[in-house]
Amino acid sequence: MPPLVTQRRIVSILSTYDDLIENNASRIAILEEMARRLYEEWFVKFRFPGHDGEVKDDGLPGGWRQGPISDLYQGLYDGPHATPKPSDEGPVFLGIGNLTESGRLDLADVRHIAEEDFGHWTKRVCPQPGDIVFTYEATLNRYAIIPRGFRGCLGRRLALIRVDPKASSNLFLYCMFFSPTWREVVAQNTLSGATVDRIPLSKFPQFPVTIPPPEVIARFDELVRPMLAQAEGLNQKNANLRAQRDLLLPKLISGEIDVSQSEADKKELVA
């Protein structure tokens, strides 16, 4: 057990990491909330640029329509229906637990697959940046966007939507998935089984959604993309900070790193 003064210095150093992580997490939450509030204003309350407040008999602005969700994406893919043997390192095997309720991928605790097995487990689909991954069994209504640099495969009970990059609709869809209207669609199409609830992927393409004109979706994407890109960058910074903190802790406890330094030296160590 290190002396009390050493323990306090160790706590001071690690607290700096925790404070940075907490600050970044708050900024991420604000950015995501901004994007979802903008979605609500434009696509629920119809307060989008250029709209005069008038709606047609069907309750939609001119040029808007009701249609199947498949009109907004290029492909729908589900993951393998089995679980590979684990590996100490290698590509990520995504599980339901890696999708947070708030809409992010949490890769702090992941299952890996061997490099030589990667091709086999990505036969159905290989996740790409911008794909929207979601749960369709057990824990429903979990959604996340595949970030840049991700290399892995879908796990059981996960599927993904791939959008045509020219359509600029993946962020519109992502924000839509958190709306009460979409949650109601999911609830109406949920099948309650003996063990878990699920939504049938065979019927998913026909789930009804409100489809705005392409130019409105493109304008929304233009405003929201920088927000969510910044949130993704902060999320990656937090992953790096957590990894650095966890690597640093045993070295501080063991005395491998001397903490009998000035406050300025400690700040330089964290930086």
- In this structure, are 169 and 238 located in the same domain? no
Same domain? For 123 and 248 the reply is no
Q: Binning pLDDT at 50, 70 and 90, where does residue 271 land?
A: low
Q: Assess whether 73 and 166 both reside in one domain.
A: yes
Tell me: do 78 and 205 sit in the same domain.
yes
Same domain, 119 and 165: yes
Do residues 170 and 72 both lie within one domain? yes
What is the 3-state secondary structure of the chain? Answer: CCCHHHHHHHHHHHHHHHHHHHHHHHHHHHHHHHHHHHHHHHHCCCCCCCCCCCCCCCCCCCCCEEEEHHHHCCEEEECCCCCCCCEEEEEEECCHHHECCCCCECCCCCEECCHHHHHHHCCCCCCCCCCEEEECECCCCCEEECCCCCCEECCCCEEEEECCHHHCCHHHHHHHCCCHHHHHHHHHCCEECCCCEECCCCCHHHCEEEECCHHHHHHHHHHHHHHHHHHHHHHHHHHHHHHHHHHHHHHHHHCCCCCCCCHHHHHHHHC
Is the domain of 19 the same as that of 108?
no
120-138 pLDDT tens trace: 899 889 999 999 999 999 8
Strand partners, 162: 75
pLDDT tens digits along 140-191: 999 999 988 899 999 889 999 999 877 778 899 999 999 999 999 999 999 9
Asked if residue 58 and residue 135 are part of one domain, the reply reads no
Number of separate domains in the chain: 2
**Rounded Cα gap, residues 235 and 255, in angstroms:** 30
Is the domain of 72 the same as that of 8? no
The pLDDT value given to residue 50: 85
Q: What is the CATH number of the domain that holds 152?
A: 3.90.220.20
Q: For residues 75 and 176, state if they share a domain.
A: yes
Residues 121 and 204 in one domain: yes
Q: What confidence category does residue 262 fall into, taking pLDDT thresholds of 50, 70 and 90?
A: very low
Q: Please state, rounded to an integer, the average pLDDT across all residues of the chain.
A: 87
For 40, the domain range is: 1-64+212-271
> What's the confidence (pLDDT) of residue 55?
84
CATH of the domain at 222: 1.10.287.1120
Arithmetic mean of pLDDT, 30-42: 94
- Looking at 191, 211, 231, the residue that finishes a domain is 211
* Res. 74: pLDDT tops 50: yes
Same-domain pairing of 202 and 166: yes
